[in-house]
Amino acid sequence: MKKNLISLVLFVLTQIVLSQNNDTVYILIENPSFKNNNCENTLNFGFSIKSKDTRFITDYYQFNLSKAKGFNKNGDFEYYTIEELRKEVMIDSIKHKTLKSLENSSNWELHNELSLKKTVLLEKKTMKKDSNGNHITKYYIIPMFYEGTRKNVIPTRL
């Protein structure tokens, strides 16, 4: 009886872990650019993919992340920094998609997937390690909220 109960608990836990992984989309972006929206106190991020609809140039997928931490002792709002919001991970442990792989989906398929699943940005950051010019690459996850798709938006860094 005890052995059957343990087997049942392990089976249920395994199913929970596997189902959580299917509910999340990890999108790998190299050195993403975040826009700080001071009015809403959010970080905005997005990427464009060449539109398959000939009426448009691009499909722009927009995300945001609330930075609100709460109130401090003085009653003022406090906000997280991007460094506090991201978590370093090993890329080998995460099944992810790239912008190249997302280009194979139609715009409505990608829109539906991003709308129905949790979206996590998998950020690739390449930094100089030392004075010899050796580079080190680190990966971070940042949970994002999908806001929708816009047409003909071309993101630029100013």
Please report whether residue 103 resides in a domain. yes
Domains identified in the chain, total number = 1
| pLDDT tens per residue across span 101-117 | 999 988 889 999 999 99
Q: What pLDDT score does 11 carry? A: 47
With beta carbons less than 8 A apart as the criterion, state whether 27 and 96 touch. yes
In a domain, 19, yes or no: no
- Closest listed residue to residue 146, CA positions, set 46, 38, 62: 62
Is residue 66 assigned to a domain? yes
pLDDT digits (tens, 9 = 90+) for 31-65: 777 777 666 677 888 888 998 889 999 999 999 88
Q: Is 17 exposed, middle or buried (0-12, 13-18, 19+ CB in 10 A)?
A: exposed
Q: What is the pLDDT of residue 112?
A: 92
Q: Is pLDDT at 131 greater than 80 in this prediction?
A: no
